[in-house]
Amino acid sequence: MSEEIKTNAAPAAAPAAAARPERPARPFAKKRFESRRKVCKVCAEKIDNVDYKNFQFVKSFTMESGKILSRRITGTCAKHQRQITKAIKRDRNLAILPYSLPKK
């Protein structure tokens, strides 16, 4: 008796799974964005130390308003982000870069 139930139960489960119609995972799914690898600009240019005197380069890591851009946005590595922030703050103190600029 118990053996009969076992044999019945096993085949019954298999067709149920097979009967389910195959359907594409996401018919209307589109690629929302192309993933682009961010590279640290400082590493790419092989600058071993970020210099505050190279303010044109340092300035490229600030917003128009004078804010420091985050690592998440620029893709710099942690080590160089630390050097950049230090350089920006030094430049601000020397009045090379602005602390802030008014919004338009």
Say what the alpha-carbon torsion angle 27, 28, 29, 33 is, to the nearest 10 degrees.
Answer: 150
Question: Quick one: DSSP state of residue 37?
Answer: -
What does R_g of the chain's alpha carbons equal in angstroms? 29
Residue that is written with structure tokens 């209307």 in the block: 28
CB of 50 to Zn ion, least distance (A): 9
Contact footprint for Zn ion (CB under 5 A)? 40, 42-43, 77, 80
Of 86 and 100, which CB lies nearer to Zn ion in the complex structure?
Answer: 86
Of 43 and 96, which CB lies nearer to Zn ion in the complex structure?
Answer: 43
CB of 37 to Zn ion, least distance (A): 14
Of 38 and 53, which CB lies nearer to Zn ion in the complex structure?
Answer: 38
